[in-house]
Amino acid sequence: MITIKSERELELMRDAGALTARVLDMLEREIVAGMSTLRLDELAEQFIRDHNAVPSFLNYVPKGEVGVTPYPATLCVSINEEVVHGVPVAKRIIQDGDIVSVDCGVYKSGYHGDAARTFVIGTIPDDVRKLVDVTRECLDLGIAQAVAGNRLHDISSAIEDHARSFGYSVIENMVGHGIGSELHEDPAVPNYGRKHTGVKLRAGMTLAIEPMIALGRSRRAVSKRGAWVAVTEDGKPCAHFEHTIAIREGAAEILTK
């Protein structure tokens, strides 16, 4: 069921979203080669709790999945070929030349914010930098379609078309989602699809739009049994950007700006 948020609910989501963005702004300033992914996680958790909020991902149990342990951290930190759900640990040290996707969810006053950015560490190959830039553009182009009266897959096709025009592959088995009092609500927001199809977008719907785009051929992110982290099938790098947005007339409101 897709819920339409009231102005009061959007007010609270704006608050949760703004804090989510501030966590990522803080991490963007702090992240540096030589730092462990666990350190990033500690900084994020402290910041969130200092602002009277709770990490959305910590202890999250995906619905309908078996054999997966509750998510053990505040952030997902996914490096290079890791697409999503990299679990922060002390022994994983960020290196010069890495791309580091940091995904953060914040729960505040009953509502979630969810956002992700891929950070470039030091000097990286030109083709990987281009991937990161284009994935950010994919998110922007998806958001540009996220307006009342359009259809859901107008978002999806805008993302897919831009990624494919550079020869990149779209990770198809990981999707964006509705968001609100639950982290994952209806509808699923795929990063590929056909224009003019899917549910009609209505003012007050709130969506987490999150393109995951890879160099190479991989169309899926795969994980070992019981493990959280999901990687590209061919080991090629993947970038990930995410915003939580509200559908409005005319233009979307980005809640995690």
CB of residue 177 vs Co ion: minimum separation in angstroms?
A: 6
CA distance 256 to 28: 15
x/- contact string, 191-210, with Co ion (CB under 5 A)? Answer: -----------------x--
C-beta separation of 179 from 192 below 8 A = no
Size of the site for ligand MF3 (CB under 6 A): 13
Q: Could you tell me which residues are beta bridge partners of residue 93?
A: 36
DSSP per residue, 120-160: E-S---HHHHHHHHHHHHHHHHHHHT-STTSBHHHHHHHHH
Mask of contacts with ligand MF3, 189-218, x by CB under 6 A? -------------------x-x--------
**Candidate list 9, 45, 103, 185; residue touching ligand MF3; CB under 6 A:** 103
| Residue 76 interacting partner from Co ion, ligand MF3, none (CB closer than 5 to 8 Å by kind) | ligand MF3
User: If contact means CB under 5 to 8 A according to the sort of partner, which of ligand MF3, Co ion, none does residue 245 touch?
Assistant: none
* Member of 9, 41, 98, 114 binding Co ion (CB under 5 A): 114
Dist. CA 204–CA 181, nearest whole Å: 14
Binding residue for ligand MF3, selected from 13, 14, 57, 150, defined by CB under 6 A: 57
String marking each residue 154-193 x if it binds Co ion according to CB under 5 A: ----------------------------------------
**Contact (CB, 8 A) for 194 and 65:** no
Q: Please give the structure tokens belonging to residue 210.
A: 């999150």
- CA–CA gap between residue 156 and residue 144 (Å, rounded): 11
Tokens representing residue 186 in the block? 């209806």
Q: Cα dihedral angle (42, 44, 46, 47), rounded to 10 degrees?
A: 160
d(CA 227, CA 145): 35
Stretch that binds ligand MF3, among 10-18, 56-64, 140-148, 185-193 (CB under 6 A): 56-64
One residue of 26, 60, 137, 161 binding ligand MF3 per CB under 6 A: 60
Residues of this chain that bind Co ion (CB under 5 A):
114, 208
Residues of this chain that bind ligand MF3 (CB under 6 A):
57, 60, 62, 71, 76, 85, 103, 114, 116, 177, 208, 210, 242
